[in-house]
Amino acid sequence: MNDFIEIDLRISGPAELQNRSQKIRVGDTVRVGRAPSNGIEIPWDRRISREQADLYFDGDQLHITCLVGARNPVLCGKRAYREVSLNVGQEFRIGETRFTLRESEASMRDSLNQQFGEEIPADVVENAYSSHELLGVELNTSQRQMEILATLPGLIAAAQDDGELVRCVLPRLLDGIRDADGVVIAQFDDAWLEESAGPDVLTRPKMIEVLTRSGFGGQFRPSRRLILKALREQQSHVHVWSEGEGGRRFTVSDGLEWAFCVPLRNEFSRGWCIFVAGRLTQVVHAEEVIQSDLRFAEVLAKFIVASRQLRSTSAQVARLNTTFSPRVATAVASHEGRQLLKPAERDMTTLVCGVQGISSSNVGAARGLSASLEAIRETLKIVVSGILDRDGAIVEVRSDGATALWGWPLPSPDGPIAACQAALDIARSFMDESLHEGGALDGIDLGIGIAHGTTIAGPIGPPIQANIGTYGPAVSHGTLLAASAKQFGVTICLDEPTAGWVQLRLNKREGRVRRLARVRSGRDGAAMDVFGLLPPLTETPTVTEEMIIRFDAAIDALIDGHWQEARSMLDRMPDSDKPTQFLLDKMAESSNLPPVNWDGVFSLC
């Protein structure tokens, strides 16, 4: 239960100047209305009754009770109430007016002054230590500390969250430092650590856990100034003071004689610290004892940092693994890898995979909805696995296909080669599965388009569900090529830049390229040469190198307007060659004669 001495009720109407603030102390009952006889007046809202509701604050919650004659209820989210109790930080609405509960500055100051000490005596001896300087300090070789350090890794490895981690470390920290009377592990907001924010700026710790010895009878209050100094400077700070009048002014707690604060030095744990304070049980070599205990606390701080970073990285990798391959996800999850996710403009490769046949009426009716869903799942499993296995980034997954990207977040030195290898892997796996008659993939076709060129890529949407956004000609070309694959009778279509890379960099034992046609999308689209990506000759012996050369020559003849010559070469191709049939069908649409103003380009439907 919280213990606020008062709260701030912030009231705001729909217009800019319709706002006010009212403090409500513990035990007070305040009435609100459009024109109450005594209370908070809200004249701008006609939907609030003259006498609307009574507000009572008990130190923990604000209890709101609408009067019998009040027309409109209290709205919290989408629910309406006549009576409701809310916590500090929540809000409610009546009519068009919003009411927000905030902890008042006086309440926060009173609470923080009870929780933290403020003053530092003039006779305090202060020392600061960097992490490097503490490496030269010898650890206390007590058996207890050695036992703690030996068993701690296994204990913190079982911690599922920060709360469990802190509760695991805290008692062992106190147990390992003999002279400590109390220990604290806390986390503060980054804004408090800015140089522009003084130590008197009020801020509650985001998390704080305190543990004192069972025999300690005072109130243990860590010094906010000491904590702030350690966190800002990222150095461990030690304060030692005498037990006299000056010492009594140090508001850590009566009777304590030293304190130190250790910041957790890591980007993943910014704002975290360990605070320890106690009494000196021996005056001789007191400084060496405190330094040794400080070194012990530093070691435990490193355990906390390592555990939190591992959990954070593991969680990030798990999320990123749905978009990136494990290798790329691990790189992105690192501290330096955060820069990789920034939007970038460079040469990238887009792969678009379209799934055809699942939603068509004949196949869909024959399958039924559950079987169609299973077909979609199995098909996309093959597609996504093929992309991630070749370190592609998943841009989008749909019921009718997927889009992937190479060249972001990691640059792709081999251009589109990995995307082409992924496409060949997908086509091969899909073919193997679809050969099973009556199987989940029976009757389904894939069309894959790959295009390479300057693209802008980066995360879009809110961080909690950010997707990859891609923009550039290669994106639209990839979509067009995937949709055109079935017309050409092939599985994988490439644009000209991608085909050029394949001819230079892809071993023919992995895949081959054949030109298919020069086309445009619609009447006004730009002309582009389309290529097909084939498996190696050992897997597709029906498409020989001689056929590819003859077909390429036929395309040149078509473009130049020599249709009879082209027809003669195409007639010598096997009847089973679907790209040949595509060209013959297009020529037949013009009675096997070049159209007027023929520019060598066929229009795609």
Residue 516 identity (one-letter amino acid): L
Confidence of residue 250 (pLDDT cuts 50, 70, 90): very low
| Residue 466 pLDDT | 53
Pair (357, 437) in one structural domain: yes
Distance CA(580)–CA(555), nearest Å, equals: 10
Non-local (6+) Cβ contacts of 9 within 8 A are 21, 22, 23, 24, 30, 40, 55, 62, 99, 100, 101, 102
| Residue 519 pLDDT | 92
Pair (351, 493) in one structural domain: yes
| Residue 3 pLDDT | 52
Q: Exposed, middle or buried, 597 (CB in 10 Å: 0-12/13-18/19+)?
A: exposed
Two structure tokens written together for 202: 């009020």
Does residue 458 fall inside a structural domain? yes
pLDDT at 205 over 50: yes
Question: CB–CB of 246/257 below 8 Å?
Answer: no
Pair (365, 248) in one structural domain: no
| Residue 194 pLDDT | 66
Confidence of residue 371 (pLDDT cuts 50, 70, 90): confident
Beta-bridge partner residues of 19 = 12
Distance CA(69)–CA(34), nearest Å, equals: 13
Two structure tokens written together for 294: 């400080």
pLDDT more than 90, % of the chain: 40
Q: What are phi and psi of 574, to 5 degrees?
A: -60, 145
| Residue 461 pLDDT | 57
CA distances 63 to 24, 182, 287, 343, Å, are: 12, 38, 54, 48
| Residue 418 pLDDT | 96
Pair (168, 84) in one structural domain: no
Pair (175, 41) in one structural domain: no
Domain containing residue 136: CATH number: 3.30.450.40
String of DSSP letters for 337-376: GGGGGS-EEEEEEEEEEEEESSSSHHHHHHH-HHHHHHHH
Confidence of residue 156 (pLDDT cuts 50, 70, 90): confident
Does residue 236 fall inside a structural domain? yes
**N- to C-terminal Cα separation, the chain:** 69
What mean pLDDT do residues 411-432 have? 93
Pair (303, 217) in one structural domain: yes
What mean pLDDT do residues 508-519 have? 95
Confidence of residue 254 (pLDDT cuts 50, 70, 90): low
Whole-structure pTM value: 0.56
pLDDT at 176 over 50: yes
Q: Which residue has the higher pLDDT, 478 or 131?
A: 478
Distance CA(295)–CA(158), nearest Å, equals: 24
For the stretch 526-585, pLDDT in tens is 889 999 999 999 999 999 999 999 999 999 999 999 999 999 999 999 999 999 999 999
Pair (129, 239) in one structural domain: yes
Domain containing residue 46: CATH number: 2.60.200.20
Pair (68, 204) in one structural domain: no
Pair (364, 496) in one structural domain: yes
pLDDT at 523 over 80: no
**Domain boundaries, position 28:** 6-106
pLDDT at 435 over 70: no
Residue found by looking up tokens 């986390």 in the block: 187
Does residue 569 fall inside a structural domain? no
What mean pLDDT do residues 415-436 have? 89
Question: CB–CB of 272/264 below 8 Å?
Answer: yes
Pair (299, 384) in one structural domain: no
Two structure tokens written together for 40: 């908070």
**Sheet order of strands, 61-66 included:** 40-41, 29-33, 53-57, 61-66, 83-87
If one counts the domains in the chain, the total is 3
Pair (160, 199) in one structural domain: yes
Two structure tokens written together for 455: 């693209």
Two structure tokens written together for 245: 């009048």
Numbers of helices and strands, H then E, in the chain: 16, 26
Pair (288, 400) in one structural domain: no
Q: At 426, which helix (H) or strand (E)?
A: helix 417-434
| Residue 95 pLDDT | 92
| Residue 482 pLDDT | 93
Confidence of residue 249 (pLDDT cuts 50, 70, 90): very low
Domain containing residue 388: CATH number: 3.30.70.1230
- Give the end of a domain, one of 475, 506, 537: 506
Question: CB–CB of 236/298 below 8 Å?
Answer: yes
To the nearest 10°, report the CA torsion of 28, 32, 37, 41: 120
Distance CA(45)–CA(48), nearest Å, equals: 6
What's the mean pLDDT when you consider all of the chain? 83
Confidence of residue 358 (pLDDT cuts 50, 70, 90): low
Does residue 570 fall inside a structural domain? no
What mean pLDDT do residues 288-299 have? 86
pLDDT at 120 over 70: no
Confidence of residue 115 (pLDDT cuts 50, 70, 90): low
- Give the end of a domain, one of 506, 525, 548: 506
| Residue 247 pLDDT | 40
- Give the end of a domain, one of 506, 531, 563: 506
Closest CA to 417 of 326, 499, 491: 499
Q: At 97, which helix (H) or strand (E)?
A: strand 97-103
Task: Give CA 7 to chain center in angstroms.
Answer: 35
For the stretch 409-421, pLDDT in tens is 888 889 999 999 9
Does residue 519 fall inside a structural domain? no
What mean pLDDT do residues 362-372 have? 58
For the stretch 49-78, pLDDT in tens is 999 999 998 888 899 999 999 989 999 988
Confidence of residue 363 (pLDDT cuts 50, 70, 90): very low
pLDDT at 32 over 90: yes
Does residue 541 fall inside a structural domain? no
